[in-house]
Every structure is written in structure tokens, then in C-alpha cells.
Amino acid sequence: MITDTLSNADKHGQRHPLFRAAFDFLRRPDLDKYPPGRVSLVEDQLIAIVSHDEGRGRSAARLEAHRRFIDIQYVVAGEELIGWRNLASCRIPTEAYDPDRDIEFYGDEPDLWMPVPGGSYAILYPEDAHAPLAGKGPVHKVVLKVAVI
């Protein structure tokens, strides 16, 4: 897991061929007004999911993991709290991997909790089990799904 501010995104643009396009989307001047929903930016390779959610709190946030996509979770407004645990140490599967949704869930507790304030993002690779929306209060965010190459 990597966390940083959008102003430093160019440091991470070389990590994946689609990261530059992902960060360019996040730099849109109208991002705060972008309507909620799913947007395909590069067919089957880069998808943006814009949402306005309410934090669930630590006890309701579930660890999830993905196999086909890397998540870049960017907070437009509010503050996100994301739990993290190395996937290799997860021992309590609660929902088997669903290939159509590219997600599986675990009942393990996160090893750490990372605040992600507005203007910041977390990059979560397939080895990063993560529990999003673990904070309290409203959060406006964009999750970019970047195909693993």
C-alpha cells in the first residue's frame, strides 16, 4: 500500500503504464462536481468509480482483496480511513473470490489503520487486503480500478 497526496502523484506514475491516465483523471478541475457512478476510461483496463459515501466505522469495515485490478482510492472531500493487512496473512475467508466482481472478503482484523484525508490517495495492490470506509462521516471519493498487467 502506498499513500500520498495528489500533488506528488508524478512520483508514482512510472509504477504502471496506466497510472498517468489515472492521475490525469483525478486532476480534472471539475472532479468535485463529477456525478457519482462508473466511468470506463480505458476499456477493461481503467475504470473510475465516483461515490459519495458515509463511513461505516472500523467494526463494520471488511477486509477485501482484488486479483485483476489495483485500486487507487482518492479522497476528493472528507477523510477516509482504510484498514490494511497483507493478503498472505489473511486466514479467515468470509466470501470466496467472485471473478465477475473481482473481489473476495476476509474476517481478519487489519494490522494497521491509515487515514487518507482529502487530496490524498492510497494505492492498493492485489497483495494488499484493505477495509475501506472505516472512518466516520461523509466521504467523497474516486476509486480507480487499474488492470494488473
What is the per-residue pLDDT across 34-90, written as a single tens digit (0 to 9) for each? 999 999 999 999 999 999 999 999 999 999 999 999 999 999 999 999 999 999 999
Closest alpha carbon to 56 in 83, 19, 31, 20? 83
Residues in the chain, total:
149
Q: Where are the domains of the chain?
A: 2-147
User: Which residues lie across from 138 on neighbouring strands?
Assistant: 54
Which whole number is the average pLDDT over 125-143?
98
**Span 92-112, mean pLDDT?**
98
- pLDDT at site 14: 81
The angle at the Cα of 136, spanning 134 to 140, to the nearest 5 degrees, equals 85
- Ranges of beta strands (E only) in 1-149 are 2-5, 37-42, 46-54, 63-65, 69-86, 93-98, 103-106, 112-117, 120-124, 128-131, 138-147
pLDDT score of 15: 86
Q: What is the pLDDT of residues 10-35, one digit of tens each?
A: 888 788 999 999 999 999 999 999 99
pTM: 0.95
The whole-angstrom separation of Cα 85 and Cα 129 is: 5
CATH architecture of 2-147: Sandwich (2.60)
Residue with cell 462508473: 38
